[in-house]
Amino acid sequence: MKKSILVLGTAIFLVMGSLTISSCQSNETKTEVKEEATAYQCPMKCEGEKTYTAPGQCPKCGMDIKKMDTHEGHKH
């Protein structure tokens, strides 16, 4: 009787231990953060859809080049 209780207790301990270990492992995958380059554009669009990588002045009209609002897949 003591032997069967010991075997049963050991089996339960091993099962619970493996469940605890497996629950500590994360199944979540890391999501990559895409860093988009900031784009700047003349608000008057003097040069069409041309963009710049830094703020400055439009070479055609002289207005300040503004940061574009961009969202995944579309522009505002």
Residue spans of the domains in the chain: they are: 39-70
Side chain identity, residue 18: S
**pLDDT for the residue numbered 17:** 63
- Weakly modelled stretches of the chain, pLDDT under 70: 6, 8-9, 11, 13-36, 70-76
**pLDDT for the residue numbered 67:** 93
Round to whole Å and give the CA distance between 13 and 20.
10
DSSP state of 37: P
**pLDDT for the residue numbered 15:** 66
* Residues 40 and 51 sit within 8 Å (Cβ to Cβ): yes
User: Roughly how many angstroms between the first and final C-alpha of the chain, as a whole number?
Assistant: 76
**pLDDT for the residue numbered 24:** 53
